[in-house]
Amino acid sequence: MIMEVSTGEPFEPSASPLQVALRQLNIACEKLGLEPGLQRIFANPKRILTVSVPVNRDDGSIEVFQGYRVHHNVARGPAKGGIRFHPQVTMEEVIALAMWMTWKCAVADIPFGGAKGGVVCDPKSLSQGELERLTRRFTSEISIILGPEKDIPAPDVYTNPQVMSWIMDTFSMHCGFSVPAVVTGKPLEIGGSQGRNEATGRGCVYAIQEAAAALGLKLNQASVVVQGFGNVGSTTALILHEECGAKVVAVSDSTGGIYNPGGLDPRKVLGHKKRTGTVTGFTDSEDISNQELLSLPCDVLIPAALEGQITRENAHTVSAKMIAEGANGPTTPEADVVLREKGVFVIPDILANIGGVVVSYFEWVQGLQHFFWSREEVNEELRKRMARSFSEVYSVSQEHRVDMRTAAYMIAVRRVAEATRIRGIYP
């Protein structure tokens, strides 16, 4: 599969994540005047590994799942990226996510390249034993490209610290000794890092704080809407509510959303979701759809679900002053144009949600050194890294009179391009 940098032609609202990623790359390349050869390198992943994953089901039957691991670019360091278990995983989606990881690591200025993995499955339909067997077999199949110096997975959609533990153990068994640095996002008991589980959400809050300071927005008087109440969305909502004094007026998950203009207590909503499996039906709130949620009047909108949520079809209905992209690729390039015309300040995904990969980097370093940091040290280093990254992107945005996404891509693509030029092309 050889891909060219996308043209400037507009996409339909149903554009795939890969089309969106290529269009975003093209915009940055045009701004930078990047040579065509480097554009072609960046438009194509370094390697794509497709595997079949046979699993013994509890009823004695055998089911074969499809899995992918993609390395987009490793010019700046080993490949880094999550593994997701989801029924709608596609190879193109994984390629796009790996590309976005390359840019995230470059924006954060950490020595990783971009990777991503996925298995086409519905983890909700699998027992714990089936999920473990699936994880271990997938790990075994992709182990030829894994390793602390080659490729370091992390949690993503429907994967968690337990899944990372199985990956680490399987890889370690192949090696004959423990290799904690082969994954990040694992439990503390086997070499995980303090603060990793909430790092993406906390980093998103730090980015919002920096943006609020730049825009003169007082967070303790701000209203917040969160789409997606998984790890990232719920953590971001909790910290904004409890530490920043913001008023969370609406949240949602895959089943729908809830709204209370007077404010919701995210911790109580979390308790309700754990009891019922959904945020809907929460007391003292109105049930709404995910599309209605995106249009609610608020100061800060946080799309923290899946890709392609804000498109040219609904962008004109967005009433937020600021969007902080907790998810990967929630806004299409055509929607970006509409939001820019409306004056909505967008903190792009490759800046807003880099907290996870930043603390994953800290965890990787701790694992290699066998020396561990306190939660306070991790959070303080994360805050510094987020503040510095935001400042760099905001400065480029102001200097070149471009939106924050274009500015972030300009920084990221330039850094990867410089590394590629210096290293050269072998042979």
Question: Buried (b) or exposed (e) across 340-363, using 16+ Cβ within 10 A?
Answer: beeebbbbbbbbbbbbbbbbbbbb
What is the pLDDT confidence band of residue 378, given thresholds at 50, 70 and 90?
very high
Is residue 24 domain-resident?
no
- Which pLDDT value is given to residue 281? 95
What is the pLDDT confidence band of residue 186, given thresholds at 50, 70 and 90?
very high
- Which pLDDT value is given to residue 9? 45
Is residue 147 domain-resident?
yes
- Is the omega angle on the peptide bond into residue 427 within 30 degrees of 0, that is, cis? yes
- CATH code assigned at 73: 3.40.50.10860
Using alpha carbons only, what angle is made at residue 89 by residues 150 and 12, rounded to the nearest 5 degrees? 115
Q: Are 172 and 182 in contact (CB under 8 A)?
A: yes
- Which pLDDT value is given to residue 7? 43
314, 329, 352 — which closes off a domain? 352
Statement to judge: residues 210 and 67 lie in one domain: no
- Which pLDDT value is given to residue 306? 81
Q: In 3D, which of 306, 353, 355 has the Cα closest to residue 331?
A: 306
What is the pLDDT confidence band of residue 64, given thresholds at 50, 70 and 90?
very high
- Which pLDDT value is given to residue 16? 86
Cα 26 to Cα 405: distance, rounded to the nearest angstrom = 12
Amino acid letter, 279: V
Helix axes 404-423, 91-108, angle to 10 degrees: 90
| Cβ within 8 Å of residue 257, ≥6 positions away | 227, 250, 251, 279, 280, 287, 288, 289, 290, 292, 293
pLDDT digits (tens, 9 = 90+) for 80-119: 999 999 999 999 999 999 999 999 999 999 999 999 999 9
> Residue 61: how many CB atoms within 10 A of its CB?
8
Is residue 386 domain-resident?
no
Question: Buried (b) or exposed (e) across 274-308, using 16+ Cβ within 10 A?
Answer: eeeebbbebeebebbebebbbbbebbbbbbbbbbb
Is residue 376 domain-resident?
no
Backbone phi and psi for residue 364, each to the nearest 5 degrees, phi listed first: -60, -45
Cα 371 to Cα 374: distance, rounded to the nearest angstrom = 10
* Catalytic residue from among 31, 80, 104, 116: 116
Q: Collapsing DSSP states into helix, strand and coil, what is residue 401?
A: coil
Is residue 284 domain-resident?
yes
Average pLDDT score over the chain: 94
pLDDT digits (tens, 9 = 90+) for 150-174: 999 999 989 999 999 999 999 999 9
Q: Are 165 and 184 in contact (CB under 8 A)?
A: no
Cα 81 to Cα 377: distance, rounded to the nearest angstrom = 23
Statement to judge: residues 204 and 338 lie in one domain: yes
177, 210, 244 — which closes off a domain? 177
- Which pLDDT value is given to residue 406? 95
Statement to judge: residues 143 and 218 lie in one domain: no
Q: Average pLDDT of 378-391?
A: 98
Examine the residue annotation and report whether 321 is marked as an active-site residue of this protein: no
Q: In 3D, which of 211, 165, 166, 197 has the Cα closest to residue 321?
A: 211
Name the strands in the sheet holding 113-120, side by side, starting at the edge strand that comes first in the sequence. Answer: 47-56, 62-73, 113-120, 79-86, 151-155
Statement to judge: residues 240 and 329 lie in one domain: yes
Statement to judge: residues 164 and 207 lie in one domain: no
Amino acid letter, 3: M
Any bridge partners for residue 86, and if so which? 120
In this model, does residue 34 exceed pLDDT 70? yes
Statement to judge: residues 115 and 169 lie in one domain: yes
DSSP annotation of 177 reads: S
Is residue 389 domain-resident?
no
Statement to judge: residues 227 and 301 lie in one domain: yes
What is the pLDDT confidence band of residue 13, given thresholds at 50, 70 and 90?
very low
Statement to judge: residues 204 and 121 lie in one domain: no
Is residue 222 domain-resident?
yes
Cα 86 to Cα 38: distance, rounded to the nearest angstrom = 32
289, 319, 352 — which closes off a domain? 352
Q: Which two tokens stand for residue 376?
A: 């306070």
- Which pLDDT value is given to residue 15? 73
Statement to judge: residues 165 and 212 lie in one domain: no
Q: Which two tokens stand for residue 50?
A: 């497709």
Statement to judge: residues 102 and 247 lie in one domain: no
**CA 399 to mean position of chain CA atoms:** 27
The percentage of the chain sitting over the pLDDT mark of 70, rounded to a whole number, equals: 97
pLDDT digits (tens, 9 = 90+) for 305-331: 988 899 999 999 999 999 999 998 899
- CATH code assigned at 326: 3.40.50.720
Which sign, positive or negative, has the C-alpha torsion 97, 98, 104, 108? positive
In this model, does residue 56 exceed pLDDT 60? yes
**Residue 304, domain extent:** 199-352
- Which pLDDT value is given to residue 12? 45
pLDDT digits (tens, 9 = 90+) for 235-254: 999 999 999 999 999 999 98
> Residue 178: how many CB atoms within 10 A of its CB?
15
> Residue 78: how many CB atoms within 10 A of its CB?
18
Is residue 244 domain-resident?
yes
- Which pLDDT value is given to residue 39? 96
What is the pLDDT confidence band of residue 14, given thresholds at 50, 70 and 90?
low
Q: Number of structural domains, the chain?
A: 2
Q: Which two tokens stand for residue 19?
A: 């089309």
Cα 200 to Cα 378: distance, rounded to the nearest angstrom = 13
Statement to judge: residues 228 and 97 lie in one domain: no
- Which pLDDT value is given to residue 3? 66
Q: Are 131 and 158 in contact (CB under 8 A)?
A: no
Alpha helices in 75-124 (DSSP H): 91-108
Cα 393 to Cα 404: distance, rounded to the nearest angstrom = 7
Statement to judge: residues 154 and 212 lie in one domain: no
